[in-house]
Chains A and B, each alone.
Chain A
Amino acid sequence: DVAEQLTPLLPGGPREESLHFVSELKDPSCSCAVDVSTVWWAAAGRRELRVVTASESTVSLWEPLGPDSWGKVHTWHLTEIPVIQIVPLPDTCNLVCVALGELEIGEIRLLLYSSETDSFKYSLVKTGNIKAIVGLKDRRLVSSSRTMQEQQLEMVLLSETGGSKDRQTLMPPEETVTAFAEVEGMREALVGTTAGNSVVVWNLKTGQLLRKMDIGYSYPASICHRAYSDSGLLFVILSHPHAKESESCGSPAFRVVAFNPRTGRSTGVMFSCLPPGRAGRRYLEGDVWDTAGAAVLTSGAVAVWDLLRGRCTAVLPPGPAGHWALARWAAGGAALLAGHRNGTVRLYRY
């Protein structure tokens, strides 16, 4: 019935045709899925995209068996501390990064295959009260952690064998960092959002905090997803999990904001609102690849947006298996992965 509600409301209808179902994987041993992701995996001389699924106590690696079927290659059992999330490492092969903890992230581990011992294993990268974490190109991992006195930000350069080759401390802002995002095409630049609703910029090579820029109070608790530098401006894609509905624009799920890093001034470029009606209501969690945003809504639907045009381009209503719980873009934007809590993941080409 959600699809029926949406049909007359979305511009041009729900446009499910922009999502094409490709395949499905089902993990009968998974009672409560917490995350799904993809990883590039090189084996026997070829590189392929594999799916990674996580429950509270397991992380499983899936390989494509045919055009529409998947087989489980390996399951890592992590029984001491619950898995909270999978941390994608863009352009990295044969490494799966996971964050574990009770209420907050307490440690970051790498899961990998060792050809030397012909076995799957894991290694510990970091422990602490970790508030935010992001994987960057070239096997780099940035995290913020908090002690009673101070906030520590660190970039770890990972080795192929799951160790840490180098560490670089980043200068912390006064406010707690809530999220990080890489700047496309600028290897040494990193942006973050803070609890005080600012966007901050670092130089990853030197660790310098270059600029703190106010987002404005209209949209509190903004989370950065991606950033692009173009024509001297820094375009940051933000989501607003707690944004309230306003008469002028409905409920904004994502916004593209242009910052002038020289002056710290900003202006909104585009906002993408939740689909109107009962299908939307609130944004629960989402993911951005390039200029495509995807989010799970409180209605149990997954919505997809063209963030540069501010248009909702597709909606996946809750299916027979119930509400959607997870929405992630595959590496390189190859597919949208939509997951149910029962461990079922469906892949769609967008």
Chain B
Amino acid sequence: CSESDLGPISLNWFEELSAEAPP
């Protein structure tokens, strides 16, 4: 798979989503 198929990738996705998600 390529990055373009899946969109921009972040190595810190877990921390970023935790900061953005409702508590």
Give A residues with C-beta under 8 Å from B: 171, 186, 188-189, 201, 203, 206, 208-211, 229, 231-234, 258-263, 265-267, 269
Contacts and interface: CB of A to CB of B under 8 A. Distances in A.
A211 B17 contact: yes
Contacts of A259: 6
A265 B7 contact: yes
A209 B17 CA distance: 9
A209 B22 CA distance: 8
Chief secondary structure at chain B's binding surface: loop
A186 B14 contact: yes
A186 B11 CA distance: 13
13 contacts: A171-B22, A203-B14, A206-B23, A210-B14, A232-B10, A232-B11, A233-B9, A258-B6, A260-B9, A262-B9, A263-B8, A267-B5, A267-B6
A260 B7 contact: yes
B12 to A, nearest CB: 8
B9 A203 contact: no
B6 A266 contact: yes
Interface centre among B8, B11, B14, B23 (most CB of A within 10 A): B14
Given A206-B23, A269-B1, A262 B14 contact: no
Given A186-B14, A208-B18, A267-B1, A262 B23 contact: no
Contacts of B9: 231-233, 260, 262
Contacts of B11: 231-232
Nearest to A229: B14
A208 B13 contact: no
Interface centre among B5, B6, B7, B18 (most CB of A within 10 A): B6
A210 B5 contact: no
Contact of B13 (A188, A261, A269): A261
Contacts of A262: 7-10, 13, 16-17
Contact of A258 (B1, B8, B17, B23): B1
Contacts of A265: 5-7
A209 B21 CA distance: 7
A260 B6 contact: yes
A260 B10 CA distance: 8
Nearest to B17: A210
Given A208-B22, A233-B9, 19 more contacts: A186-B14, A206-B18, A209-B21, A210-B14, A229-B14, A231-B9, A232-B13, A233-B6, A234-B13, A258-B6, A260-B9, A260-B13, A261-B14, A263-B6, A263-B7, A265-B7, A267-B1, A267-B6, A269-B1
